[in-house]
């Protein structure tokens, strides 16, 4: 049997400091060029040269103001602030690439589904079916306040609202225009057959929509759905809807359990285990030799800012770590932010303290960091895939775009030589490229298919 092919997304964000905070101060880092279109088009070309499946763009609404009860450090260290809109980058990058997929994060809590559906359809058209959507519901009260609410909805209620949001979108994307609605018949003067264009009606707890989807069917109709739910409710949501799931894990055993549980739940929901492609976040520092990679790591760490990473994590958990003594144990407390992270850091048997967190944040971020020669990096990536049953990785940037260049130049050829990474892209939409069924549309067993007509 041929070896499992490792899937790769580059993980980035339309901002200066994304995951590995502080590295914007490195003399070779170019992340401060994020406002220039060439920064993005060059990166898209680079990733396509490395045959990456996708560029995954994170996003945040709101600012990180939990640590020290202030956004001062966030502003000083550019911790995902300033941050520009991710969707607006896609057309330019699509124009200079043919195959690279784009997974863009949009927080549905602050979107009107009717207009959002059109924006995604537009991008699916312009990319010729290369768009994906990372479904997030947010975790910041600062976002809620900015959007006119006193605080954000309660954690599980956010997922309930998301369920309804998805229903509206599926109705629009899958049910409003039947296959064959577009005739484009100049002689008979019929562009679209009105009998096959349907008004969708939705009246629910959170949304009311009575209208026609504004866009004609795009190559994938529903974009490839990405999600990162890790709490019980989040996993349930991912198992029902997601096609690509992002996980963050420090230990193979924990990742293996999460992957197993997610696939189990997908099966219970009437889907197949490999209907989920699971990506784990990872940072890689690679150089031609192990010694050079180590040197590079030490050099990068001189510019990283662990405290900025802590401020980011504080907002993620909802815990103000500045109130703790350096060796005081992190106490369990209620959190309305990312529940899985809050639980993990405050579990009594986990023994987390601020000192330990800062040690873990040596590179400014909390993702597993692999440092080594191309062979060592490839060994470790292959081991994660083998031992945990993930499908691939979400590769964070460190010094940008140097770290992506290093990966493309050094790690990709090594993986290709081992037969664990594609030598070339196959044609087709993002969904066709990612899934064995090689179909542009979601399979009939996905909940979206219920809303199809005709």
Ligand X SMILES: Cc1cc2nc3c(=O)[nH]c(=O)nc-3n(C[C@H](O)[C@H](O)[C@H](O)COP(=O)(O)O)c2cc1C
CA distance 262 to 280: 13
Q: How far is the CB of 11 from ligand X (least distance, A)?
A: 7
CA distance 449 to 439: 13
58 binds ligand X (CB under 6 A): yes
Whether the Cβ atoms of residue 89 and residue 44 lie closer than 8 Å to each other: no
Whether the Cβ atoms of residue 357 and residue 311 lie closer than 8 Å to each other: no
- Classified as helix, coil or strand, 429 is coil
105 is in an annotated binding site: yes
**Sign of the torsion angle spanned by Cα atoms 284, 287, 292, 295:** negative
339 binds ligand X (CB under 6 A): yes
Q: How far is the CB of 261 from ligand X (least distance, A)?
A: 13
Whether the Cβ atoms of residue 350 and residue 207 lie closer than 8 Å to each other: no
53 binds ligand X (CB under 6 A): no
Beta bridge partners, 286, equal: 372
Of 80 and 176, the one with the shorter C-beta distance to ligand X is 80
Spell out, one character per residue from 248 to 277, where the chain touches ligand X: x when CB under 6 A holds, - when not.
x-----------------------------
Q: Taking contact as CB under 6 A, which single stretch among the options 20-28, 214-222, 334-342, 358-366 is the one that binds ligand X?
A: 334-342
Q: Using CB under 6 A, count the residues that bind ligand X.
A: 22
228 binds ligand X (CB under 6 A): yes
54 binds ligand X (CB under 6 A): no
- Binds ligand X by CB under 6 A, chosen from 78, 79, 89, 136: 136
Q: Taking contact as CB under 6 A, which single stretch among the options 178-186, 202-210, 246-254, 375-383 is the one that binds ligand X?
A: 246-254
Which residues between 343 and 402 bind ligand X (CB under 6 A)?
Answer: 394
230 binds ligand X (CB under 6 A): yes
Q: How far is the CB of 38 from ligand X (least distance, A)?
A: 24
Determine if the peptide bond prior to 4 is cis (ω within 30°).
no
31 binds ligand X (CB under 6 A): no
Of 224 and 287, the one with the shorter C-beta distance to ligand X is 224
- Distance from chain centroid for Cα 76: 25
Q: How far is the CB of 175 from ligand X (least distance, A)?
A: 27
59 is in an annotated binding site: yes
CA distance 102 to 422: 18
**Sign of the torsion angle spanned by Cα atoms 421, 425, 427, 429:** positive
- Binds ligand X by CB under 6 A, chosen from 12, 74, 107, 121: 107
Of 95 and 350, the one with the shorter C-beta distance to ligand X is 350
Residues in the chain, total: 454
231 is in an annotated binding site: yes
- Classified as helix, coil or strand, 106 is strand
12 binds ligand X (CB under 6 A): no
Beta bridge partners, 135, equal: 106, 227
By Cβ distance, which residue is nearest to ligand X? 234
Q: How far is the CB of 145 from ligand X (least distance, A)?
A: 16
Which residues between 166 and 225 bind ligand X (CB under 6 A)?
Answer: none
User: Which among 14, 28, 7, 81 has a CA at the least distance from the CA of 399?
Assistant: 28
- Binds ligand X by CB under 6 A, chosen from 17, 229, 374, 392: 229
- Classified as helix, coil or strand, 332 is coil
246 binds ligand X (CB under 6 A): yes
Task: For residue 359, count other CB atoms closer than 10 A to its CB.
Answer: 10
Q: What is the CA radius of gyration of the chain?
A: 22
- Binds ligand X by CB under 6 A, chosen from 14, 20, 105, 429: 105
First to last CA, the chain: 40
Q: Taking contact as CB under 6 A, which single stretch among the options 69-77, 116-124, 240-248, 381-389 is the one that binds ligand X?
A: 240-248
64 is in an annotated binding site: no
- Binds ligand X by CB under 6 A, chosen from 53, 59, 65, 414: 59
**Phi, psi of 76, rounded to the nearest 5 degrees:** -65, -40
Cα–Cα separations (whole angstroms), residue 269 to 15, 129, 241, 273, 385: 37, 26, 9, 10, 24
For the chain, the maximum distance between any two Cα atoms, rounded to a whole number of angstroms, is 78
Of 247 and 304, the one with the shorter C-beta distance to ligand X is 247
425 is in an annotated binding site: no
420-443 core/surface letters (b: 16 or more CB in 10 A; e: else): bbbeeeeebbbbbbbbeeeebbbe
**Which positions make up the binding site?**
59, 105, 155, 159, 231
Point out the annotated binding site for FMN: 59, 105, 155, 159, 231
Site of interaction with ligand X (CB under 6 A): 58-60, 105, 107, 136, 138-139, 155, 228-231, 234, 246-248, 281, 338-340, 394
């Amino acid at each position: 049997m041929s070896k499992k092919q490792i899937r790769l997304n580059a993980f980035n964000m339309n901002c200066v400091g994304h995951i590995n905070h502080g590295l914007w101060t490195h003399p070779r880092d170019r992340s401060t060029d994020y406002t220039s279109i060439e920064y993005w088009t060059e990166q898209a070309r680079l990733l396509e040269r490395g045959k990456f499946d996708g560029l995954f763009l994170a996003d945040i609404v709101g600012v990180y103001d939990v640590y020290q009860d202030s956004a001062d450090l966030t502003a000083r260290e550019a911790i995902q602030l300033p941050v520009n809109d991710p969707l607006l980058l896609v057309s330019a990058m699509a124009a200079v690439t043919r195959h690279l997929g784009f997974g863009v994060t949009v927080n549905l809590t602050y979107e009107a589904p009717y207009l959002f559906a059109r924006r995604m359809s537009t991008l699916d058209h312009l990319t010729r079916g290369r768009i994906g959507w990372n479904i997030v519901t947010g975790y910041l009260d600062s976002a809620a306040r900015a959007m006119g609410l006193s605080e954000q909805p309660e954690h599980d209620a956010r997922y309930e609202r998301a369920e309804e949001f998805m229903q509206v979108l599926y109705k629009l994307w899958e049910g409003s225009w039947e296959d064959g609605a577009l005739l484009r018949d100049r002689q008979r003067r019929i562009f679209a057959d009105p009998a096959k264009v349907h008004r969708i009606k939705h009246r629910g707890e959170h949304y009311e929509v009575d209208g026609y989807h504004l866009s004609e069917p795009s190559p994938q109709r529903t974009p490839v759905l990405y999600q990162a739910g890790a709490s019980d409710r989040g996993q349930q949501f991912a198992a029902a809807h997601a096609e690509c799931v992002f996980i963050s894990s420090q230990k193979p055993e924990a990742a293996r359990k999460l992957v197993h549980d997610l696939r189990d739940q997908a099966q219970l929901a009437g889907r197949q285990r490999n209907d989920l492609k699971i990506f784990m976040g990872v940072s890689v520092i690679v150089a031609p030799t192990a010694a050079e990679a180590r040197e590079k790591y030490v050099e990068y760490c001189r510019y990283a800012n662990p405290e900025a990473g802590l401020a980011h994590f504080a907002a993620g958990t909802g815990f103000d770590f500045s109130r703790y003594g350096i060796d005081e144990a992190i106490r369990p407390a209620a959190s309305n932010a990312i529940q899985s992270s809050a639980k993990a850091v405050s579990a009594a048997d986990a023994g987390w303290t601020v000192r330990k967190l800062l040690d873990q944040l040596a590179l400014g971020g909390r993702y597993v960091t692999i440092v080594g020669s191309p062979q060592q990096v490839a060994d470790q990536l292959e081991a994660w895939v083998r031992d945990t049953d993930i499908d691939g990785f979400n590769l964070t940037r460190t010094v940008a775009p140097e770290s992506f260049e290093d990966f493309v130049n050094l790690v990709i050829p090594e993986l290709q030589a081992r037969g664990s990474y594609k030598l070339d892209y196959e044609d087709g939409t993002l969904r066709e490229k990612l899934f064995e069924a090689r179909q542009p549309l979601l399979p009939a067993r996905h909940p979206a298919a219920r809303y199809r007509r005709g």
